[in-house]
A and B are shown apart, each in its own frame.
Chain A
Amino acid sequence: MSNSGKAFSSSIGKKLVMGITGLFLILYLIIHCFLNSLIFVNDGGLTFNEGAHFMATNWLIRAMEVVLFLGFIVHIVQSARLTIENRAARPVKYAYNDGNANSKWYSRSMGLLGTILLIFLIVHLSNFWVVSRFTGIPTTDANGHDDLYAVMKLTFQNVWIVILYVLAMVSLAYHLLHGFPSAFQTMGWNHKKYTPIIKKVGFWYSIIIPLIFALMPIAVYAGLI
C-alpha cells in the first residue's frame, strides 16, 4: 500500500468516495423501504410499530445509524466540494451548449436533484427521526410499543408534506437512475457481460424503490390506510 492517504484527495479518489457512500446509501434504502412497507400490513400499524421498535432498540442498528449519518454527510460534503471544483474547471461558460445532444439531463443535474433530496431529508428527519428520538411519541399501540404509525398518519394529513415527499421521490428516482450505474463505473466495474445487467437492475431499482416510498404518503392522504 502506498500513498493511499493522497489517493482519496485525487480526482479518482474523490469519485471513489462518492461511489462507495452512494452504494452504501442504495443498500440502506432497501432496508428502509422494506420496513416502511409494513404500514401496508392491514393491522392498524401493529407490525410497523413492532419493526420500528426493533430498529430503535437493537444495538447493532443504533450503531449503524451513526455510520448511516456519516455516509450521508460524507456523500453530501464531498459532492459540494466536487461541484465547486468542477465549476472552477470551466470559468468561462459556453454561450450555447447543447447538453441534450450527448447526455441525459438527470446525469447533468445530480447536484440539483441532490439539493432537493437534502431539503427533503431535513424535513423528513424532523418529521420522524427527531420525534421518535428526542421529542417523544405521545401514544402507544395495543402491544405497548411507541405508536409511530399514528405519527405517520397525522404527518401525511398535510397536503404540502405529501407533495414534498412525492416530489422528492421523483428526484430520488432520477438521482438513482444516474447514480446506480455510475457508482459501478467509478469502482472500475465496466464489463461487457455484467454492465448491461447492472444497468437493468439499476433502472428497475430506481423506479420501484421511490415508487413504493411515494405510495406511502399518497395512500395515507387518500385515506386508503
Chain B
Amino acid sequence: MSTGNMNLTLKVWRQKNSKDQGRLVDYKVSDISPDMSFLEMFDVLNEQLISKGEEPIVFDHDCREGICGMCSMFINGRPHGPKQGITTCQLHMRSFKDGDTIVVEPWRAQAFPVIKDLSVDRSSFDRIIAAGGFISVNTGSAQDANNIPIPKQDADAAFEAAACIGCGACVATCKNASAMLFVSAKISQLAHLPQGQPERYRRVQSMVAQMDAEGFGNCTNTGACEAECPKGISLENIALMNRDYYSAKFLKEEEIH
C-alpha cells in the first residue's frame, strides 16, 4: 500500500473495433494520488492522451459507486482488480505500489465481443433476462407488511441473489467463460419469492436455453466466479438453478411449459 504519489506503467488493451486484432500498449502515468480511484487514474491518462492529440482509451463506467455494473476492467489477471467484493470504480490506487506495472484488459468471452478498447458488448445478458428473467403480470405497488407471508430465510436468499449487478465479472474470470453465476442469480431472486412461482419452471428452461444460445461456456465448478463477484453471489444459486432445471425437465408435465 502506498501513501505518497506514484508513477506507474500501464499495459492497456487497445482495439479499434470488433474486427481489429487489438494489442497491449504501454503508457506511463506519473504523480498518481493513492486516493484516486482506478477509473480516475484512467481519466488522468485520457487527459494526457487528448492533450497529446492521441485517441483516448474507451472504457465503460457510469455510477462510479459500485452499483450500476457498468465498469469492467480485467486488472492484473483479475476482474475488477486485486481486491474482493468491489467493482473497478471502487478500487483505489492505494492498492498498488509506486513503480508497479498494471495490465488492463477487457472482459474476454465469445459472448462479450469487444466494441472498442476496454468496452465490451454485454447485451447477451440482456437477451437472457428478456428470455424469462421477469414476472409477466403486473404485481402492483408494494404490499402491506405481512400481506404475503414470506419466510425470512427466503427473503434473505432472494435479496442476496438480487444484489447481482450484471457486470459480467463471473464470465470474465471463469476459465470456461460460463455465465451460470449470473443466470442462476437472476433465476434465484424470483424462485425464492411467491410472485416468481407461476413461471418458475418455464423461466429456468428459457433462460438456460438463451444462455447456451449466446455461446457462453459450461460450468466446471472451479468457484472462481463466486470468489471474484463484487456482490458475493453464492454458488448455492447455481445448485438451485440446476435443481429447478432438472425438476422442470424430468418431473414436470409438458403442459406446464
- The 7 lowest CB-CB distance pairs between A and B, nearest first, are A98-B77, A89-B217, A190-B239, A188-B243, A102-B227, A86-B176, A7-B249
Interface residues on A, range: 35 or more
Whether A2 lies near B257 (C-beta < 8 A) is yes
Mask of A64-98 contacts with B, CB within 8 angstroms, 1/0: 00000000000000000010011011111111111
A-B contact list, 20 entries, CB within 8 Å: A1-B250, A1-B253, A2-B249, A3-B254, A7-B249, A11-B212, A85-B217, A89-B178, A89-B215, A92-B108, A94-B74, A98-B78, A102-B223, A104-B222, A107-B220, A107-B221, A110-B220, A186-B219, A188-B242, A188-B246
Interfacial chain A residues near B208, Cβ < 8 Å: 10-12
Whether A185 lies near B212 (C-beta < 8 A) is no
Interfacial chain A residues near B61, Cβ < 8 Å: none
Whether B223 lies near A187 (C-beta < 8 A) is no
Q: Is A129's beta carbon under 8 Å from chain B? A: no
Name the distance in Å between B120's Cβ and chain A's nearest Cβ: 11
Q: Is A15's beta carbon under 8 Å from chain B? A: yes
Whether A190 lies near B236 (C-beta < 8 A) is yes
Q: Which DSSP category, helix, strand, loop or mixed, fits chain B's interface?
A: mixed
Name the distance in Å between A91's Cβ and chain B's nearest Cβ: 6
Who on chain A is nearest to B254 by CB? A2
Q: Is A175's beta carbon under 8 Å from chain B? A: no
For the complex, give the distance between the alpha carbons of A182 and B242 in Å: 13
For the complex, give the distance between the alpha carbons of A86 and B240 in Å: 22
Interfacial chain A residues near B241, Cβ < 8 Å: 12
Beyond contacts A86-B218, A178-B221: 16 other A-B pairs, Cβ-Cβ < 8 A, are: A2-B249, A4-B250, A12-B242, A15-B218, A15-B219, A16-B242, A86-B175, A88-B215, A89-B176, A89-B215, A90-B109, A92-B108, A93-B108, A101-B82, A102-B227, A188-B242
Query: Which residues in chain B, 223-245, are within 8 Å of chain A measured between CB atoms?
Result: 223-224, 227-228, 235-236, 238-243, 245
Interfacial chain B residues near A10, Cβ < 8 Å: 208-209, 212, 245
Count of residues in B whose CB is under 8 Å from the partner chain: 57
Whether A101 lies near B221 (C-beta < 8 A) is no
Interfacial chain B residues near A82, Cβ < 8 Å: 218, 220
For the complex, give the distance between the alpha carbons of A16 and B250 in Å: 12
Which among A6, A90, A103 is the interface contact of B177 at CB below 8 angstroms? A90
Name the distance in Å between A108's Cβ and chain B's nearest Cβ: 5
Q: Is B205's beta carbon under 8 Å from chain A? A: yes
Query: Which residues in chain A, 162-208, are within 8 Å of chain B measured between CB atoms?
Result: 178, 181-182, 185-190
Whether B105 lies near A95 (C-beta < 8 A) is yes
Whether B219 lies near A89 (C-beta < 8 A) is no
Whether A89 lies near B109 (C-beta < 8 A) is yes
For the complex, give the distance between the alpha carbons of A91 and B114 in Å: 12
Whether A182 lies near B220 (C-beta < 8 A) is yes
Who on chain A is nearest to B23 by CB? A95
